Structure 1
Amino acid sequence: MKAYLANGLFSIGDRYVNEVLAAKIREAVPTIDLYVPQENGAINDKNSYANSLAIAEADLASLQVSDVLIAVIDGIEIDSGVAAEIGAFSMLNRPIIALFSDVRQLGRTNTKKIDALIEDGTENQFIYRNLFVVGLIKRNGKIVATMDEVVEQLLLLA
């Protein structure tokens, strides 16, 4: 199985998450051919140079041959590159597993949080994700909350 791991790759936090998630996936599914853009030095060694077309072509080529997309959709908003990768991959009608680990998902049944939101829209205890992107994921995939759930979903596809 070929897979593509989409996440931001510019902050230490994103690079760390990518490294940990990639290691978990490779350990659980040793036969997986996992493309992690930050590992592609030809386009992502920031001491070197790659123009926008080289980056787009390299990542699109990997998306096109992938059987599954693993997309991290954490952050203030979904990373713009990740959103673009989700959009491109969704056109292939292949599975997408999205990792959304934000703790603000907790307490969805807490009526105090819901009542506060109804009373005052600025008391939003939850987090918003772009619904178009969420819909693209849900067309052929699933949103999960932990790295272990990402691995579980991959194992179901393997």
Structure 2
Amino acid sequence: MTISKHIYFAGPMFAQSDLRYNDHLVKQIRALSTELTVYLPQENEAINDKSAYADSKMVALADTEEVLKSDLMVAVLDGITIDAGVASEIGVAYAKGIPVIALYSDTRQQGADNPQKLEALSTPAENQFHYLNLYTVGLVKLNGQVVATEEALLEAIKQALLERRD
């Protein structure tokens, strides 16, 4: 018996680099299993063809419907801040008990045990690390996990889908 799994992919999608990275990650996720369907919002031209028109309600309804159909959400947290749409989608997933696996690959995480970097925290404007909104991160961790590499992301997805199969 084949068990279909639906994954919602939440990521920033307004720069070409975002679109390409999302596409890159989704190709890897889709390659994990033929049982997977992955909703990548940028592929939904009805609401995300930026030369056309979709109002806020159309976008909210289309993406929320897909979140609610999902067995799992994959969310990219990278960027200057967590993308506002991604944060909203994480909130919907949390409220509905949909597990979230988030990728946070910011290189400023490295060196967390470096004494100079830690000492710099006490000097104004010398934070060597990146800050993420703790509320949004907390929602992820309450019903999922944050990983730091693409490899860890793919492994976590495989594990989550195995657990959901039981």
TM bracket, shorter-chain basis: over 0.9
* 2:65 counterpart of 1:65: no
Q: How does 1:8-157 map to 2 (within 5 A)?
A: 8-118=12-122, 120-157=123-160
TM-score of the pair, normalised by structure 1: 0.97
Percent identity over the alignment is 44
One-letter identity of the residue aligned with 2:128: Q
Larger relative contact order (C-alpha < 8 A, sep ≥ 6)?
1
One-letter identity of the residue aligned with 1:143: V
Gapped regions of structure 2 (runs ≥ 5): 162-166
Q: Measure, in 1, the Cα distance between the counterparts of 2:73 and 2:17.
A: 20
Gapped regions of structure 1 (runs ≥ 5): none
Q: Measure, in 1, the Cα distance between the counterparts of 2:121 and 2:50.
A: 43
One-letter identity of the residue aligned with 1:152: E
Query: Deviations along 1:122-147, whole A, 9 cap, x unmatched?
Result: 11000000000010000010100111
Instruction: Give the CA RMSD over aligned residues.
Output: 0.8
Q: Which runs of 4+ in 1 moved over 2 A?
A: none
Q: May I ask how many residue pairs the two structures share in their alignment?
A: 157
Kindly state the Cα deviation for residue 29 of structure 1 after the two structures are TM-superposed: 2.4
One-letter identity of the residue aligned with 2:95: M
